A and B are shown apart, each in its own frame.
Chain A
Amino acid sequence: MSVVVAQEKKPLIRFDIKKCAFCKICELSCSKYHYKKFGDSISRITIIRKGPLMFKCHICTRCEKRFCITACPTKALSYKGGNIVVDPKLCNSCGDCVKACPFHGIRLHPETKLPLICDLCDGDPSCVKDCPKGALSLVWLPEVRK
């Protein structure tokens, strides 16, 4: 049975396809915030372009189903404070969470092999701040809880 818990809200990075210019500044901003380096392979957000007008944003949506948590064989993932949190001691880098997320919201860090999942940058999303086109925004939606 699922109920809407009105008081609890979940964060969402909303993507406006009409405004996005495919500059990938969000990706570089994300990698810089977390690692002080620039690289799309260590970004938790990815913008994909297919055709002149078709843009997609791959990022954790904090979906109600938490496919990633269910898929994880070592119970390394949990949901805390609006984020999927990885326990590096439990994670065995199998990549099952990567495959399970239908939103392509997870990739493994190329060196540590730990899942990279949007953590909202301590509550002040770097990508949202740096997007020059205002295509990203942080919104809070009512949470549906099991």
Chain B
Amino acid sequence: MMKYSGYKGKVLAINLTTKKTSSIEITDEFARKYLGGNGFAVRYIFDMVDPRMDAFDATNVVAMMTGPFQGINSPTAGKYYMATKSPLTNGYFDSVSGGFIGAQIKYAGYDGFLITGKADKPTYLFVEDGKVEFRPAEKLWGRLTGETQEMIKEEVGDPNLCVSAIGPAGENLVRYACVITEYRAAGRGGVGAVLGSKKLKAVAVRGSGTNEVADPEAYEAWMQWYKEEAKKVPGLAVGLPTYGTPALVASIGKMLGAMGSYNHKTEFFQNWENISGERLKKEFWDKDTACPACPIACSKVFSAKSGKWKGAISEGPEYETIYSLGSMCGIDDLGAIIKGDSLCDEWGMDTVSYGVAVSFIMEAYEKQLITRENTDGVEFKFGNDDAMIAYIEKTAKREGIGNLIAEGSLRAARVIGGGSERFAIQVKGLEIPGHSARALRGMSLGYATATRGGSHHDPRPTGEYAGASDRKAVEGKAAWVIGTQQMTTIGDSLVNCHFLERLLGFTLTQKWVDMINPVTGFGYTLEELTTVAERILDLERSFNVRTGIRRKDDTLPRRFLEEPIPEGPSQGMHTDEPTLNRMLDEFYVIKGWDPKTGIPTKEKLIRMGLEDVADRLAKEGISC
């Protein structure tokens, strides 16, 4: 029995090659040191995976983790966490998704799974309480994510079963293939492709157990506090429940002029009104949906009631997808965006990377770096919604130029050449989402330094939108970015939604501590919690430096460094190389990373209680 609550005290290691499982104990000390989700996964992956191996090697590990909050009714706890070495960035990569499967892992008696090896035939895992079955999945192979989930529910005979599945994109190793649970995605970085390389089609989990909190009275008091306080936060009380994230089209696209369009040739989309959240709600809305345990219910089912794409229906699109499939590709038909959103989910790929890779191809086509001969005669022009839709399936199947789109924009640029890398909108291989690296100084530095590369869930843009940090300032930005990265790391370790930031703070605050202690019983101070976050981030960085990542990789696409935003409310803004370097210098110093190389210093690692990591780096000759 563990002293702390929110844990089951064991993680199940599952080897697909040998079809054997073994249980790894979670000790009190380990839980306190690494918290859960993100912290647990990075510790195991650092210990188990050789970072120099290919992501598709059988020895790669996929962690499917929970934190202490899964299975309880704390707002936004209805999530689960996945991590692996990414086939897109080659670095440590994690992806958080909504889904009751996180709770079921707890109810089944585990804090998470570590999946390794490679099955000889398509397989799915069925975990029920203490029991694990390797089930044949030949008849599921090639199927879309929706029907895969349905077929497994039917086979098990439980319409309420939680299933996480990959689609054909994962099977065919599309580098940004995702994992779908219900209608939500562990979207980014290609976790689905790694599962595909392991021939693992799905994981289904059901448990009859429970989860409890350490101090029910304090927990109840916190829940009451949440209910009262959340009412006062406009985003949580009105914006997200009413419009969901598409509300951002007006605030970011119109007011700020910071919504990447036409592969970031501009950031002001003239037709923003056509793809706005207001219009989605008025003309396309069917109902609100939520991740489990979430009272915000930011998710919505939308369908096209008329027009060219009449009948298209999807849970979503989120703001990011309106950006990637919409403004980036020059498409202003919400019907097409809804269609594309549902097809990406069904075929099993990340909408952000897909859309941004397509917009990259569109610009290469415009610049005549590729021609109709390369595209099977398709006019790959901005605004061609038929091409954007048709190539989802072709990309999932790696047909024609879909084979190149499946590699992501950086690898596609290297094939196409002609200086196209300049306008491949990615950092470390990960396509940048719809939060401007040019109009938000924090995101310039944030993307450049994030473990995952172009992710808005390592650094967060929200505080700069809200004015909590001046979006133009350079001074003090490094500390701000570090603060937001610490906050998201804790969020990902609890495996909670980052939208809590609007209430609890964009960086770690006592309010975050006050939410965690009643559930776990840790009695953390803010200082200890901050150390937990730094420890996890240093582990991620240490994994990445062992793949060869250095300061030189902490950068932005040339387009962003050299071309200011050409028009609109943020006209003229960008972060040039000297400015980025200035912020980077400051960033490494605060972090305790070597400013020359970007490698965590021995002193810092030891201070974080990571002596073994410091030793490992030294042994491999990486220390500084």
The chain A residues found within 8 Å of chain B, CB to CB, are 18-19, 21-25, 28-29, 31-32, 35-42, 46, 48-50, 52-53, 110, 130, 132-133
Contacts and interface: CB of A to CB of B under 8 A. Distances in A.
A46 B160 contact: yes
Contacts of B71: 38-39
Contacts of B208: 39, 41, 110
Nearest to B342: A52
A18 B210 contact: no
A23 B293 contact: yes
Contacts of B72: 28, 38
Given A28-B72, A36-B212, 16 more contacts: A19-B288, A21-B299, A22-B290, A23-B290, A23-B291, A23-B292, A25-B73, A38-B72, A38-B73, A39-B107, A39-B210, A40-B107, A41-B208, A52-B315, A53-B286, A53-B301
Interface of B: 71-73, 78, 100, 103, 107, 159-160, 182-183, 207-212, 216, 286-295, 297, 299, 301, 313-315
11 contacts: A21-B289, A21-B299, A23-B292, A23-B297, A29-B73, A38-B71, A38-B103, A39-B107, A39-B207, A41-B208, A52-B314
B211 A23 contact: no
Contacts of A52: 183, 286, 301, 313-315
Contacts of B287: 18-19, 21, 53
A41 B301 CA distance: 27
Given A28-B72, A32-B73, A40-B107, A21 B290 contact: yes
Contacts of A48: 159-160
B297 A132 contact: yes
B29 to A, nearest CB: 25
B145 to A, nearest CB: 13
Interface of B is mostly: loop
Contacts of B293: 23-25, 28
A31 B210 CA distance: 9
Contacts of A28: 72-73, 293
A5 to B, nearest CB: 36
Given A49-B182, A52-B301, A24 B211 contact: no
B103 A40 contact: yes
A133 B216 CA distance: 24
A50 B182 CA distance: 9
B292 A50 contact: no
A24 B292 contact: yes
A105 to B, nearest CB: 14
B100 A24 contact: yes
Contacts, number: 86
Pairs A-B, 4 closest by C-beta atoms? A132-B295, A39-B210, A110-B208, A23-B290
A31 B103 CA distance: 14
Contacts of A24: 78, 100, 292-293
Contacts of B182: 49
A36 B294 CA distance: 19
Nearest to B212: A37
B159 A133 contact: no
Contacts of B183: 52
A39 B295 contact: no
Nearest to A26: B73
Given A29-B73, A40-B107, A49-B182, A21 B315 contact: no
A52 B342 CA distance: 11
A50 B161 CA distance: 11
A35 to B, nearest CB: 7
Contacts of B288: 19, 21, 133
Nearest to A52: B301
Contacts of B207: 39, 41
A41 B100 contact: no
Contacts of A37: 210-212
B286 A25 contact: no
Given A23-B295, A52-B314, A42 B210 contact: yes
Given A23-B292, A24-B78, A39 B209 contact: yes
Of B73, B159, B290, B291, which is in contact with the most chain A CB atoms at under 10 Å from its CB? B73
Contacts of B292: 22-24
Contacts of A49: 182
B413 to A, nearest CB: 36
**Most interface-central of A18, A25, A28, A29 (chain B CB within 10 A):** A28
Given A22-B289, A23-B293, A23-B297, A35 B210 contact: yes
A36 B288 CA distance: 29
A24 B79 CA distance: 13
Contact of B294 (A23, A31, A39, A40): A23
Contacts of A38: 71-73, 103, 210-212
B211 A39 contact: yes
Contacts of A32: 73
A24 B293 CA distance: 6
A55 B581 CA distance: 53
Nearest to A37: B210
Query: Which of B288, B299, B301 has the most CB atoms of chain A within a 10 A radius of its CB?
Result: B288
Contact of A133 (B210, B212, B297, B313): B297
A132 B73 CA distance: 12
A28 B210 CA distance: 10
A42 B107 CA distance: 11
B16 to A, nearest CB: 28
A32 B132 CA distance: 28
Nearest to A109: B208
Contacts of B295: 23, 25, 132
Given A48-B159, A48-B160, A53-B286, A36 B297 contact: no
A130 B103 CA distance: 19
